[in-house]
A and B are shown apart, each in its own frame.
Chain A
Amino acid sequence: MSSSKVLMPTEENISPPAPESSAVTSSHESSQEETEKVIKVNDLNFAYDGKKDVLRDISLEIQGGEVTAFIGPSGCGKSTLLRCFNRMNDLIPTASITKGSIEILGTDIYDQYVDEIELRKHVGMVFQKYNPFPKSIYENVAYGLRIQGIKDKATLDQSVEESLIGAGLWEEVKDRLDASGLGLSGGQQQRLCIARTIAVQPKIILMDEPCSALDPISTATVEDLITQLKSKFTIVIVTHNMQQATRVSDKTAFFYLGELIEYDSTTRLFGSPAVKQTEDYISGRFG
Chain B
Amino acid sequence: MNEFSDNQILNKERPFAPQTQKRRQTDTAVSWVFRLATYGILACAAYIFGDIIVKGAPVVFRAEAPFINVEFFTRSPETLVVFETQDGTERQLAFSDYSQWKKDNPGVEIAKEHTHSYSGGGILGPLVGTALLTIICIVIALLIGQATAIFLNEYSSKGRFINVIRLAIMNLAGVPSVVFGLFGLGLFCLFFPVITTASELRVEGWRAIQLFGTEKYLAFQGWGTCMLAGGCTLAVMVLPVIITACEESLKAIPMGFREASLALGATKWQTIRTSVLPYAFPGMLTASVLGITRVAGETAPIMFTAALAHKDKLPWQGLAVNPESGFFGRMLSQVFGFFTESVQAMPYHIYTVAARIPQSEYTRPMQYGSVFVFMVLVMCLSALSVFLRIHYRKKMKW
Chains A and B directly touch (beta carbon < 8 Å): yes
Chain A residues with a Cβ under 8 A of chain B: 86, 88, 91, 93-94, 117-118, 120-121, 124-125, 127, 129, 131, 133-134, 143-144, 146-148, 182, 193, 196-197, 200
Residue pairs across A and B with Cβ atoms less than 8 A apart, 17 shown, are A88-B262, A91-B259, A120-B262, A120-B263, A121-B265, A125-B263, A127-B259, A129-B254, A129-B256, A133-B257, A134-B279, A134-B396, A143-B264, A144-B264, A147-B265, A147-B266, A196-B264
The reply to whether the CB of B267 lies closer than 8 angstroms to some CB of chain A is yes
Residues A197 and B256 in contact, CB atoms below 8 Å apart: no
Q: Report the Cα distance A98→B265, complex, angstroms.
A: 25
Q: Report the Cα distance A121→B262, complex, angstroms.
A: 9
The reply to whether the CB of B333 lies closer than 8 angstroms to some CB of chain A is no
Query: B241-287: which residues lie under 8 A (CB-CB) from chain A?
Result: 254, 256-257, 259-267, 270, 274-275, 279
Minimum-distance CB pairs A-B, first 9: A131-B256, A125-B263, A144-B264, A121-B265, A93-B157, A147-B266, A120-B265, A131-B260, A147-B270
The reply to whether the CB of B397 lies closer than 8 angstroms to some CB of chain A is yes
Residues B265 and A144 in contact, CB atoms below 8 Å apart: yes
Which of the residues A117, A144, A193 comes within 8 Å of B267, measured between beta carbons? A117
> Which residue, B254, B256, B397, has most C-beta atoms of chain A within 10 A?
B256
Query: B265-313: which residues lie under 8 A (CB-CB) from chain A?
Result: 265-267, 270, 274-275, 279
Residues B260 and A133 in contact, CB atoms below 8 Å apart: yes
The reply to whether the CB of B398 lies closer than 8 angstroms to some CB of chain A is yes
**Nearest Cβ on chain A to B150's Cβ, whole angstroms:** 16
Residues B264 and A131 in contact, CB atoms below 8 Å apart: no
Report chain A residues within 8 Å CB of B270: 147
Residues A147 and B262 in contact, CB atoms below 8 Å apart: no
Given the known inter-chain contacts A133-B275, A147-B270, A182-B398, please indicate yes or no for A120 contacting B259, CB distance below 8 A. no
Residues A200 and B398 in contact, CB atoms below 8 Å apart: no
Report chain A residues within 8 Å CB of B265: 117-118, 120-121, 144, 147-148, 200
User: Closest B-chain residue to A126, C-beta based?
Assistant: B263
Q: Besides the contacts A120-B265, A131-B260, A143-B261, what 13 more A-B pairs have beta carbons closer than 8 Å?
A: A86-B263, A88-B262, A117-B265, A118-B265, A124-B263, A133-B260, A133-B275, A134-B279, A144-B266, A147-B267, A147-B270, A147-B274, A197-B264
Total of A-B residue pairs, C-beta within 8 Å? 67
Residues A120 and B264 in contact, CB atoms below 8 Å apart: yes
Residues A147 and B259 in contact, CB atoms below 8 Å apart: no
Q: Report the Cα distance A121→B157, complex, angstroms.
A: 25
**Nearest Cβ on chain A to B148's Cβ, whole angstroms:** 19
Residues B264 and A124 in contact, CB atoms below 8 Å apart: yes
**Nearest Cβ on chain B to A238's Cβ, whole angstroms:** 14
**Nearest Cβ on chain B to A47's Cβ, whole angstroms:** 16
**Nearest Cβ on chain B to A148's Cβ, whole angstroms:** 7
Report chain A residues within 8 Å CB of B262: 88, 91, 120
Q: Report the Cα distance A118→B267, complex, angstroms.
A: 10
Give the interface SS of chain B, mostly helix, strand, loop or mixed.
Answer: helix
Chain B residues with a Cβ under 8 A of chain A: 157, 254, 256-257, 259-267, 270, 274-275, 279, 396-398
User: Closest B-chain residue to A129, C-beta based?
Assistant: B256
Report chain A residues within 8 Å CB of B264: 120-121, 124, 143-144, 147, 196-197, 200
Report chain B residues within 8 Å CB of A94: 157
Residues A131 and B397 in contact, CB atoms below 8 Å apart: no
Residues A197 and B275 in contact, CB atoms below 8 Å apart: no
User: Closest B-chain residue to A86, C-beta based?
Assistant: B263
Report chain B residues within 8 Å CB of A133: 257, 260-261, 275
**Nearest Cβ on chain B to A125's Cβ, whole angstroms:** 4
Q: Report the Cα distance A98→B263, complex, angstroms.
A: 23
Residues A127 and B396 in contact, CB atoms below 8 Å apart: no
Residues B259 and A88 in contact, CB atoms below 8 Å apart: yes
Report chain B residues within 8 Å CB of A118: 265
Given the known inter-chain contacts A144-B264, A147-B270, A182-B397, please indicate yes or no for A131 contacting B157, CB distance below 8 A. no
**Nearest Cβ on chain A to B43's Cβ, whole angstroms:** 44
> Which residue, A117, A121, A146, has most C-beta atoms of chain B within 10 A?
A117
Residues A134 and B398 in contact, CB atoms below 8 Å apart: yes
**Nearest Cβ on chain A to B123's Cβ, whole angstroms:** 43
Q: Report the Cα distance A22→B372, complex, angstroms.
A: 97
**Nearest Cβ on chain A to B142's Cβ, whole angstroms:** 22
Report chain B residues within 8 Å CB of A124: 263-264
Report chain A residues within 8 Å CB of B396: 134
Q: Report the Cα distance A78→B267, complex, angstroms.
A: 26
**Nearest Cβ on chain A to B268's Cβ, whole angstroms:** 9
Residues B260 and A127 in contact, CB atoms below 8 Å apart: yes
Q: Report the Cα distance A29→B162, complex, angstroms.
A: 54
**Nearest Cβ on chain A to B257's Cβ, whole angstroms:** 6
Report chain A residues within 8 Å CB of B257: 131, 133
Q: Report the Cα distance A148→B270, complex, angstroms.
A: 10
Q: Report the Cα distance A121→B270, complex, angstroms.
A: 14
Q: Report the Cα distance A148→B397, complex, angstroms.
A: 27
**Nearest Cβ on chain B to A163's Cβ, whole angstroms:** 12
Q: Report the Cα distance A197→B397, complex, angstroms.
A: 22
**Nearest Cβ on chain A to B267's Cβ, whole angstroms:** 6
Residues B266 and A117 in contact, CB atoms below 8 Å apart: yes
**Nearest Cβ on chain B to A209's Cβ, whole angstroms:** 13
**Nearest Cβ on chain A to B260's Cβ, whole angstroms:** 5
Report chain A residues within 8 Å CB of B157: 93-94
> Which residue, A120, A124, A193, A200, has most C-beta atoms of chain B within 10 A?
A120
**Nearest Cβ on chain B to A36's Cβ, whole angstroms:** 25
Q: Report the Cα distance A72→B261, complex, angstroms.
A: 28
Q: Report the Cα distance A4→B110, complex, angstroms.
A: 102
Report chain A residues within 8 Å CB of B263: 86, 88, 120, 124-125, 127, 197
Q: Report the Cα distance A131→B396, complex, angstroms.
A: 13
Report chain B residues within 8 Å CB of A93: 157
User: Closest B-chain residue to A122, C-beta based?
Assistant: B265
